[in-house]
Amino acid sequence: MAWIVQWEEETGSTNADLLAAARLGAAPGTVLVADHQTAGRGRLGRRWEAPPGSSLLASLLFHSASSEGLHRHTQAVALAAAEACRNVARVDAVLKWPNDLLVGSRKVAGVLAETAPLPSGALAVVVGIGLNVSWPAPLPPDLAPTMTALNIEAGRDVDRAEVLRAMLDALDSLDWAQLHSRYRAELDTLGRTVRVERVGEVLEGAAVDVKVDGTLVVRTRSGDREVTTGDVVHLR
C-alpha cells in the first residue's frame, strides 16, 4: 500500500478527522497521526485520553466493498501493531477480544474502527489505534494496575515513528488469505474462561471460537452465545 502519512501536533480525534477526509475523497492508505487528541474516541462511546507525545495515536483509511472489510482491516491493524511491538520494542503483546493489545493482563493498545459510506457505494473503513509507546513513568496509581506502555515494558525509550513504520511494514507483508487463522492463533481470549460485560447483561463461560466476522462464541451454562460487542475480562 502506498501509505500517505500526515502527522499533526494536536487534533480532536484522528478517527473523526480521517472519516471527514474520507468523505471528501481522501485516498485509501492515508494515515493520520497526532501527538495529542483533545477528544479521542474509545470503544463503546468512551473517551481515549493520553498525555501529549505519550502514544502512537493513528488512524488508517481503507476502502472496502462490504462490511466484511471492517472486521478484516481491524484485525489486520491489531495483528500488525502486535508485530510492531515485538519488532521494535521486543515486547510480546497478545490480543484480547475484540482487538485490545495486552502485555500480561495490562492493556497497551486499543483499536476503534469506524465506517462511512462513500458515493461510489464502497465503504470507508477508518481503523484507529491508540498504542501506549512512551508514557511518563511511573504510571499514575489509578492506571498502573490495568495499563502499560512499551517504554515501561522494554525498560528504555521507544520511538513512536519507528513503531508506526514497523506497523505499516507488517501490514504490507500481511498474508491476507491467512488473516483469520492468524487472528484465531493470536487471540489470547480463545480457550480462556471469560466474563463478557454487555449493556444489561453479564455472561460467563469459555471463549471457544471466533468467527470470520469477529463474533466471539462463549460456551455458557445455558448454551453457546454469540457476542458481537461488549467488554471481555479474562478470568482464567
Binding site for ligand BTN (CB under 6 A): 13-15, 37, 40-43, 46, 48, 57-59, 100, 110-112, 128-130
CA distances for 215 relative to 80, 86, 198, 211, 226, angstroms: 20, 27, 14, 5, 6
96: helix, strand or coil:
strand
CB of residue 224 vs ligand BTN: minimum separation in angstroms? 26
CB of residue 157 vs ligand BTN: minimum separation in angstroms? 21
Residue carrying the nine cell digits 492508505: 29
CB of residue 121 vs ligand BTN: minimum separation in angstroms? 26
* Smaller CB separation from ligand BTN, 119 or 127: 127
* Smaller CB separation from ligand BTN, 21 or 129: 129
Whether the CB-CB separation of 39 and 30 falls below 8 Å is answered with: no
CB atoms within 10 A of CB 129: 28
Chain residue whose CB lies nearest ligand BTN: 110
* Smaller CB separation from ligand BTN, 43 or 225: 43
* Smaller CB separation from ligand BTN, 43 or 195: 43
CB of residue 124 vs ligand BTN: minimum separation in angstroms? 15
Cα–Cα distance measured from residue 50 to residue 43, given in angstroms and rounded to the nearest whole number: 15
Amino acid, single-letter form, for residue 189: T
